[in-house]
């Protein structure tokens, strides 16, 4: 009296469910690959610098800050400094922070997380 047909059906679904979960997990692992979102932000940075439009850089410094990694301890401070200069219309001041971040972190970010990540 306790053997109802529906119980068998739900048991046979379990291996399929596990297989789907495993497939989903495997599909997620390799996405730790090249991330070009910061590179795209940088292209916009460069365009606005060439345009001489300091104020347009401010939101791009926010986007840059959002890509920070914990081991790059000055990344947030540099981004904030660049944003403050940009918002004040100080193009030279903003450009100084481009160099500051590039000298400190550009290559490491690029090869570990960015456009050249494995």
- Positions in the binding site for ligand HEC (CB under 6 A): 38-39, 42-43, 45-46, 49, 57, 64, 75, 78-79, 82, 94-95, 97-98, 101-102, 105-106, 109-110, 114-115
Distances (CA, A) of 13 to 9, 23, 64, 86: 7, 15, 46, 58
Please say which residue, 15 or 52, places its beta carbon nearer to ligand HEC.
52
Our CB check for ligand HEC shows the closer of 17 and 111 to be: 111
Give the nearest distance from C-beta 32 to ligand HEC in angstroms. 14
Dihedral sign computed on CA atoms, order 85, 89, 90, 92: positive
């Amino acid at each position: 009296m306790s053997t109802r047909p529906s119980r068998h059906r739900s048991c046979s679904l379990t291996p399929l469910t596990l297989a789907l979960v495993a497939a989903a997990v495997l599909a997620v692992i390799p996405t730790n690959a090249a991330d070009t979102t910061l590179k795209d932000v940088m292209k916009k940075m460069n365009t606005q610098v060439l345009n001489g439009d300091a104020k347009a850089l401010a939101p791009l410094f926010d986007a840059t800050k959002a890509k920070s990694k914990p081991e790059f301890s000055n990344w947030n401070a540099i981004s904030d400094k660049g944003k403050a200069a940009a918002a004040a219309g100080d193009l030279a001041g903003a450009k100084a922070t481009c160099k500051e971040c590039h000298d400190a972190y550009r290559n490491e970010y690029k090869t570990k997380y960015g456009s050249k990540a494995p």
